[in-house]
Chain A
């Protein structure tokens, strides 16, 4: 009975983590069709921003919820202006350039902070389920994942920016004819995606090993989750995160973490084969 509760918490953790990892990428890939291979490094920068500012004395909540997204959002803005905007429409070149960017960022962080850094403790403490101990951080992450989904949904559905962004993504020429500058929309959307990713990285900092190369472990997972989700950036990503997270955690629980990862990848490949347009190609069609 308690074991079931622990497994449920594990699954919740896995799904919430995936949602957080993927949301920024879903925004950038889903709305702009840009394959940002530096996504893992945006996560890493968010984690580093949190760790560095917390170690410098800043309150951890401020570091995670304010500093991380602001910093990485700014980085995203600079990256879009200086690199991405020259490569719109050049899919493969964007992939190559962002891969080069990811290498450069890893190299830069390694140069500045070395291969390891003093981490931050997990806040909130723990609780017990029978004989098993669990962390309160897990339900907190789940809450944050939900809150972030809701916030992005509200932003896209109810604000002027959201409307303009969705319109520009669907038909930039039409939007331009109506007086919107697509370039500024792209810039803002990329920065938004980066900020969301930075926030995710900051939230992961207490529970992940913060090293310059931490991004590599997440990039592939994030991409296949977004690709598996399909065109609907919120419902699709949430659906594939739920599916993959469940399978990953359950398989890990039953066998080993390694096979849990393998199970996730195999599921993703099978899913893409069966539903080439992703989950939201068949279900949740037309939703955000």
Chain B
């Protein structure tokens, strides 16, 4: 099959899937009850977080243990800004910009500082811990940004809900929150796909493949990694804001190490190197955690730990690539079936005689 034909079919399939997703998002409030819809809104916010790591790790080769830092910064930025401005529109923008700037500073420090990629994990982990400690200790009333008290370990209750852009009077109801969050998820996915298809994205992937060769071809790897890291930070921040909006609450537990671990688990079992993999992994794990949390028989940590170890040992590439491989192999087998020339009948193989 010619490359161009294959590409055309692939594009058509992707557009069809996109249309189906949009339709699904729009139709959901009509068929799903409110409680489940709120659950799905939560999942959608988490999926955006998953995409942020899936993008920077799977395509940029940057394993960050600190996407929760940007997630939390986005949540807090949204909360503080929404309370101060009374309008969620600039708050949402700040939720992307503030983590983005932070990622720029941290990224500059790491990528332009000749620090090895292994230590990046340690440093991002450390930064998350610092943030947790700092925010946790802001319980006193003197810790406020403008009109918003940070609340320390108590958290910030009554985080304002999203409103229609620039229209603080029109608040987005639960259905609205679903539409905004799931819509944002689809938007982010499409945006990341477009980035990956652009020259920037293709070079970033090449840098992940072989940084030396990319540099020898004239590309500055530090700049590309920095930009990829900033994009990841902004996306995580957006997820954080939508999460804060969903729960109308944000607390330092958003910086917890356990969430950092979960994101990595989502991407690993879903499939590193794909965009849909992290989303799939996130949905599976979050639904599993919700189920396990509801019962007392088995400990959630134990199950998650065993699943992660199992995947690393048995299915290191993750679910989506594994399914893709199986499907491709199946298709190839079908295509390769020998075809007999016209007019010749197939002779059945001799069947062994049944024993008397």
Contacts and interface: CB of A to CB of B under 8 A. Distances in A.
Whether A and B touch (Cβ < 8 Å) is answered with yes
A268 B312 contact: no
B126 A268 contact: yes
Interface in B276-329: 298-310, 312-313, 316
B257 A269 contact: no
The A interface, classified by DSSP as helix, strand, loop or mixed, is helix
Contact of A258 (B109, B119, B126, B133): B133
A223 B264 contact: no
A47 B307 CA distance: 26
B125 A220 contact: yes
Interface string A10-49: 0000000000000000000000000100000000000000
Among A87, A103, A220, find the residue whose CB has the most chain B CB atoms closer than 10 A.
A103
Contacts of A258: 133-134, 136-137
A107 interface: yes
Contacts of A83: 309, 313
A97 B136 contact: no
A252 B112 CA distance: 32
A100 B302 contact: no
B305 A100 contact: yes
B15 to A, nearest CB: 34
Contacts of B118: 35, 91
B268 interface: yes
Contacts of A220: 122, 125-126, 129, 257
Contacts, number: 113
B116 A276 contact: yes
A235 B327 CA distance: 54
B113 interface: yes
A66 B38 CA distance: 53
B63 interface: yes
A175 interface: no
Given A96-B308, A103-B304, A216-B257, A224 B133 contact: no
A216 B130 CA distance: 14
Interface stretch (A53-61, A133-141, A202-210, A259-267): A259-267
B121 interface: yes
A200 B113 CA distance: 34
B261 interface: yes
Contacts of A262: 130, 133-134
B299 to A, nearest CB: 4
A35 B268 CA distance: 17
Contact of B119 (A99, A216, A227): A227
A105 B264 CA distance: 18
Contacts of B261: 99, 103
A101 B125 contact: no
Residue of A102, A269, A276 most packed against chain B (CB within 10 A): A269
Nearest to A99: B261
A104 interface: yes
Given A110-B301, A261-B133, A272 B313 contact: no
B306 A272 contact: no
A167 interface: no
A273 interface: yes
Nearest to A112: B299
A107 B115 contact: no
A224 B312 contact: no
Given A220-B126, A261-B133, A269-B123, A100 B304 contact: yes
Contacts of B130: 261-262, 265-266
A180 interface: no
B309 A100 contact: yes
Nearest to B303: A107
Contacts of B258: 216
B23 to A, nearest CB: 36
A224 B126 contact: yes
Interface of A: 35, 83, 86-87, 91-93, 95-97, 99-108, 110-111, 216, 220, 223-224, 227, 256, 258-259, 261-262, 265-266, 268-269, 272-273, 276
Given A100-B308, A103-B261, A103-B305, 12 more contacts: A86-B313, A87-B313, A91-B118, A93-B316, A97-B308, A97-B313, A105-B305, A261-B133, A262-B133, A266-B130, A269-B123, A273-B109
Report the 6 A-B pairs with minimum CB-CB distance, sorted nearest first. Answer: A107-B302, A104-B305, A100-B308, A103-B305, A107-B301, A107-B299
29 contacts: A87-B312, A92-B63, A93-B316, A97-B308, A99-B261, A100-B306, A103-B301, A103-B304, A103-B305, A104-B305, A105-B305, A106-B301, A106-B305, A107-B304, A108-B299, A108-B302, A110-B299, A111-B298, A216-B258, A220-B122, A224-B126, A227-B119, A258-B136, A261-B130, A262-B134, A273-B109, A276-B114, A276-B116, A276-B119
